[in-house]
């Protein structure tokens, strides 16, 4: 680390401690040459996740869009906000763990549906109907039949 006063590259760390938020480490350093002290902050570099939309356009991932979509699907259902927030955290963590810089909305939608099917089947069908853009009642019925088949295998 270069000294901001004399630009000497030989400095030593005198003190290290986490910041109040815990997202960075504050370090007090002393220049070996001029003996002046200065503070540096070290934090994890976060690479923003870019979403590739159906039309090919790109935008930065917005967790609030995921949260609002799930809240809408769970409207008037016995699902508490804490469970929804937990799912959003899991989804965001899972997407970041994929180690991809860009991810298609179709992948995000499938991940959301994988979580919703275990949370609330009605919320799952609601989300799927919008996400998969059901064109008619037959498509809707086919999705419910798949859900019932899956439920039958899981519960007996």
DSSP string spanning 46-113?
A: PPPPEEE-TTS-EEE--HHHHHHHHHHHTTTSS--HHHHHHHHHHHHHHHHHTT-SEEEHHHHHHHHH
- Which residue is listed with tokens 């109040």? 20
Cα–Cα distance measured from residue 27 to residue 13, given in angstroms and rounded to the nearest whole number: 7
Phi/psi class of residue 104: alpha, beta or left (left: φ > 0; alpha: ψ in -120 to 50)?
Answer: beta
For the chain, how many residues are written?
A: 156
What does the buried/exposed string (b/e) look like for 15-31 if buried means 16 or more CB atoms within 10 Å of the residue's CB? eeeeeeeeeeeebebbb
Contact 21/48 with Cβ under 8 angstroms?
A: no
- Domains of the chain, by residue range, sit at 11-43, 50-155
CA distance readout (Å), 70 to 27, 53, 59, 106, 127: 41, 18, 20, 15, 7
Given this model, what pLDDT does residue 143 score?
76
For the whole model, what pTM was predicted? Answer: 0.65
Contacts of 53 (CB under 8 A, 6+ apart): 59, 105
Q: What is the pLDDT along the chain (156 residues), one digit of tens a residue?
A: 899 999 999 999 999 999 877 778 999 999 999 999 999 999 877 778 999 999 999 999 999 999 999 999 999 999 999 999 999 999 998 998 888 899 999 999 999 999 998 899 899 888 988 877 777 777 778 777 887 787 776 665
Contacts of 67 (CB under 8 A, 6+ apart): 84, 85, 88
Assign 149 to helix, strand or coil: helix
Cα–Cα distance measured from residue 152 to residue 59, given in angstroms and rounded to the nearest whole number: 39
């Amino acid at each position: 680390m270069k000294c901001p006063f004399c630009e000497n590259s030989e400095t030593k760390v005198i003190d290290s401690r986490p910041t109040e938020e815990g997202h960075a480490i504050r370090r007090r350093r002393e220049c070996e040459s001029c003996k002046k002290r200065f503070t540096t902050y070290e934090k994890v570099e976060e690479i923003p996740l870019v979403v590739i939309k159906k039309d090919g356009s790109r935008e930065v991932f917005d967790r609030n869009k995921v949260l609002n979509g799930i809240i809408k699907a769970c409207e008037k259902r016995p699902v508490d906000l804490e469970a929804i927030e937990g799912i959003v955290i899991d989804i965001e963590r899972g997407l970041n763990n994929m180690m991809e810089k860009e991810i298609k909305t179709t992948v995000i939608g499938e991940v959301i549906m994988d979580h919703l099917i275990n949370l609330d089947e009605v919320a799952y069908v609601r989300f799927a109907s919008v996400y998969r853009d059901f064109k008619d009642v037959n498509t809707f019925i086919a999705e419910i039949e798949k859900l019932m088949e899956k439920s039958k295998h899981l519960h007996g």
